Amino acid sequence: APYVMQVANDLQYHLGWAVQIYNAAEALPNLINPFYMLPLLGVLGLRARDLIGFNFVQLLVHTPLVLFLLWFLGQTLTYIPPVMP
């Protein structure tokens, strides 16, 4: 992810918040393909199709909400350029 920091510097965007945006972009696809729920399937004896509807609703609700909050809260932070020692 070094290119994320370069882009954030070029756009003069808060570097810490750029990392959080990258993390959110990594987490949202887990709602499409929920590998984290594999143990739950075995323990409860469920099938994957039993969880897909729940995950799809979560994806529809959380994607616009997370993207809006990342944009909105990112506007509240000021850019501090990195300092090389």
Give the residue with greater pLDDT, 78 vs 31: 78
Cβ atoms of 14 and 79 within 8 Å: the answer is yes
Of the candidates 15, 84, 14, 30, the one whose C-alpha atom is nearest the C-alpha of residue 62 is 30
Which pLDDT score is estimated for 1? Answer: 63
Q: Is the pLDDT of residue 83 over 90?
A: no
Output the average pLDDT for the chain: 87
Count of CB atoms within 10 A of residue 62's CB? 14
Domain residue ranges of the chain, discontinuous segments joined by +: 2-74
What does the block give as tokens for 83?
A: 């300092």
Q: What is the pTM of this model?
A: 0.72
